[in-house]
């Protein structure tokens, strides 16, 4: 394991963007495998009495694994690399915040949560809908159904994760740290999609609409 870590650090030093792209693709692919295992297990429990032994076996959708891996390679890897590197330089050299200070960490958490997090989530839902063969109307409906619940639930978790990241993890490893937590996040997003039009999702949409009306929209 130590040799692998040393090899990864050397690759990151020599080819930072390529290394981030490849590692992001691998981790997101593994995350989707884990997500499929979780959702398959959940579905099997619901239908257990109606399934044969063969049907209870886990069936991997390799097309979705490849699609998710490509999302990690083409979006998360390159965009994440330049986002974390650029955000670090911006706060240090333009805003003049001392590195690792409370203001520095707090501002990174806020900007990451307000800009990168929602964009990443929106692109993920839209991309996965399109590559699964759905038309734009279907993709739009699924984004409206899943985006806000995911954003609100993740909004209570990711800031804590990112405080640790921005305070203690060197900037060159921050995307790797985020990707490792995305292994768990993939399971959550897959479970969220499986919920379809669950009542608790409808509450988010109703709450948002009612608040908009109160503002006079």
Kindly list the domain boundaries of the chain, sorted by start residue: 2-51+62-214
pLDDT band at 50; cut points 50, 70, 90: very low
What integer pLDDT is reported at residue 51 of this predicted model? 46
Highest-scoring range by mean pLDDT, 45-59, 80-94, 174-188: 80-94
Contacts 24+ apart (CB under 8 A), 80-88: 80/20, 80/24, 80/116, 80/175, 80/178, 80/179, 81/16, 81/17, 81/20, 81/21, 81/175, 83/112, 83/116, 84/171, 84/174, 84/175, 85/171, 85/172, 87/111, 87/112, 88/171
Q: What is the pLDDT of residues 93-138, one digit of tens each?
A: 999 999 999 999 999 999 999 999 999 999 999 999 999 899 999 9
pLDDT tens track for 138-152: 999 988 888 888 888
């Amino acid at each position: 394991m130590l040799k692998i870590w040393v090899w990864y650090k050397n690759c990151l030093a020599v080819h930072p963007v390529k290394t981030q792209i490849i590692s992001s693709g691998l981790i997101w692919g593994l995350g989707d495998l884990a997500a499929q295992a979780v959702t398959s297990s959940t579905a099997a429990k619901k239908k257990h009495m109606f399934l044969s032994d063969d049907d209870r076996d886990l069936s991997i959708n390799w097309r979705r694994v490849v699609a998710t891996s490509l999302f990690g390679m083409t979006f998360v890897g390159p965009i994440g690399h330049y986002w974390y590197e650029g955000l670090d330089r911006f706060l240090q050299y333009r805003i003049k915040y001392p590195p690792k200070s409370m203001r520095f960490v707090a501002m990174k958490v806020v900007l990451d949560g307000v800009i990168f997090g929602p964009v990443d989530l929106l692109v993920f839902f839209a991309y996965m809908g399109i590559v699964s063969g759905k038309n734009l109307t279907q993709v739009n409906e699924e984004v409206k159904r899943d985006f806000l619940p995911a954003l609100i639930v993740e909004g209570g978790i990711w800031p804590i994760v990112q405080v640790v990241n921005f305070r203690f993890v060197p900037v060159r490893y921050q995307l790797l740290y985020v990707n490792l937590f995305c292994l768990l996040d993939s399971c959550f997003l897959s479970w969220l999609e499986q919920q379809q039009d669950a009542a608790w999702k409808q509450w988010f949409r109703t709450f948002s609409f009612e608040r908009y009306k109160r503002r006079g929209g």
